[in-house]
Amino acid sequence: MSPSRSAAGDQPAPDAALDPAGRVDWLREQIRSHDRAYYELDAPVIPDADYDLLVRELRSIEADHPDLVTPDSPTQRVAGVASSQFAPVQHRTRMMSLDNAMDAGELRAWGERTRRRLDELGLPDTVRYVCELKIDGLAMSLRYESGRLVLAATRGDGRTGEDVTANVGRIEAVPAELTGDAPEVLEVRGEIYLPLEAFARLRARTEAENLQAEAAGRRPRPLPANPRNAGAGSLRQKDPEVTGSRGLALWAYQLGEVVGVEPPPTHSGALDLLAGLGLPVNPETRSCSSLDEVYEFCAHWVEHRHELPYEIDGVVVKVDDLSVQAALGATSKAPRWAIAYKLPPEERTTQLLEIQVSIGRTGKATPFAVMEPVFVGGSTVSMATLHNEDQVRLKDVRPGDTVVVRKAGDVIPEVVGPVLEFRPADLPEWRFPTDCPSCGRPLVRPEGEAQHLCVNPDCPQKRWAAVCHFASRGAMDIEGLGEQQVQLFMDLGLLADVADVYSLDYDRIGELRGYGEKAIDNLRAAVEASRSRPLARLLFGLNITHLGQAGADTLAGALGSLDAIATASLEDLSAVDGIGPVIAESVHSWFADPGHQQLVARLVAAGVNTDGPERSVLPQTLAGLSVVVTGTLPGYSREQAEAAIKSRGGKSPGSVSKRTTALVVGDEPGASKVTKAEQLGIPVLDQLGFEHLLETGELQAEGTS
């Protein structure tokens, strides 16, 4: 959110340099408004990253002007209040929030402060730390008496929460009764969250219900924006059975009040106690002997956060020894012995300047947002996808809106939705264009499809995108023939379609600025090398609708040649294992088109490879089996391991499912794959077990962990 925008309207905010007191009052008003939206309504207006900026600015001004600090300032208390929907609960032991470290520098600064405090207290600075993933969910206190769950309460403001016992009691992941020798009283602190798989099911169900609502003339419900909001909303349902149906889960992360036994002396010991009593404790927790190990753990999860089956927004670092925790103490709202290292934000707000429509390689017309640049997901973003007309209408984003934009890792940036509180009055709704922005011909939306298409085969944008795709790394991999070069060559009349790649006028290209002899030689060599690419690469590069890399690989392996694929009947294509009726119809129609037949003839004349892979002579020991590989195995690249599986008749998908035969684990494996395999009871193999499986098709007991 822009620091000069107000959640209450368009009134300009006071300037901190000219009126620090006015700016402080304004910031407090904004923060309190956002606290109500987040904690009471489960409907935050802005992303966490923008909220954090407001709090950090307030803290900075208060540090410069101590006379402006008041006891009720958001910097002096735990955020949140108990909702009036549920009965209030007084926490026996206060539930505090954590201070944040927004980057590696601030994390190291906390580490140095902790070292200094330990020195001042006369304590050794060689204490151990515990690192835990910061789950993006809802903080919860669970009270067990004689091993049975008797109370579940939200954090609220840290002192008073909400009694949600009836709803939490319907969550399958929360044990109603502890196992083992439970103490007389045990209070457990944890996080209720919505796993990504359950979130996807909830979104799909909402989309289906919205289609029915629209057909009946009713207004559709907003789609759940993210797992955190959807999880909090699911927990606070009036009907506990609805809460129980949503698939919520729990990670227990701390002890509260304990009566009847002596608590363990360390936090890691407390986690072991919780796990021994049957409570779910996150397996990605690590005990660290130094701050350097802490920093390495945090850096790891910056890179691997999306391998988890749930969302995290940081790493919580705690001093392990509870006596040292007590000595370090706390501020008015947060312990000094812990810090929350926040991962780079994946959602921010920015201004939507305009909505444009791009034409893809198959003619698909895709709307996209042009925005004020904003740093999100580790990079600066100025454009984001809007998918299709229905999504624009459902999200109701309009040029001039303040919008939430999301970018997760390498995923294409996406506009989540508008911030309606900031929408200018009388902002007109955006309408999908009726004509192609490239060629001016009418756009067509086939019945039952969500996408509009430009069906003009001579559409300049469509032809440009098709050639770019043909030359891309996943297809014919022609280095030096990128988007800018394709556009230049098309403007000069050197390229009109993919077959023209093999008849480029290198003499003419050599006359262009920037194309010396070496550049020409490199381009010529790249084009020549592409002639021998595997048949599957050629098929994928032909821009056949619905035919992706996996389908192209399947067709090339099953039918063996381009000619066999081009002349196959619809029935023959449909009979190929792994090729469904939609892909079969699309492939058959593409090769039946006279224009495409001429294009293929020119490619064949140019000498591209049209033969599929040789059939494997190896024993088909893995026929019918599905083996997933994660991590690096000595002597195998990831591709070589997957090829070894496929050459023996097996399948090697990219994810673990109930149909997976085994998971092969090498060095630095994906955590989510290992976790899911363990949850599903799927065998996990090391390298010896993998090689035994390749040779015999059998799972070797000593190779299974």
Residues annotated catalytic, as ranges: 134
Pairing assessment for the beta strands 338-342 and 312-319 based on DSSP bridges? antiparallel
Question: Is the distance from CB of 454 to CB of 438 less than 8 angstroms?
Answer: yes
Give SS3 for 385.
Answer: strand
* Helix pair angle (104-120, 291-304), 10° resolution: 160
Give me 79's structure tokens.
Answer: 């955020």
Residue 494: CB partners within 8 Å, gap ≥ 6? 500, 504, 505, 508, 509
Please give the Cα distance from 385 to 403 (Å, whole number).
Answer: 13
Question: Is the distance from CB of 570 to CB of 586 less than 8 angstroms?
Answer: no
Ranges of H-type helices in 365-413: 389-395
**Phi/psi class of residue 169: alpha, beta or left (left: φ > 0; alpha: ψ in -120 to 50)?**
alpha
Ranges of H-type helices in 478-560: 483-491, 506-510, 517-530, 535-541, 549-559
Please give the Cα distance from 680 to 692 (Å, whole number).
Answer: 22
Please give the Cα distance from 635 to 656 (Å, whole number).
Answer: 23
Question: Is the distance from CB of 673 to CB of 630 less than 8 angstroms?
Answer: yes
In which residue are the tokens 């017309």 written? Answer: 365
Residue type, position 57, single letter: E
> Which residues does residue 406 pair with via DSSP β-bridges, in sequence order?
347, 414
Phi/psi of residue 585, nearest 5 degrees:
-65, -40
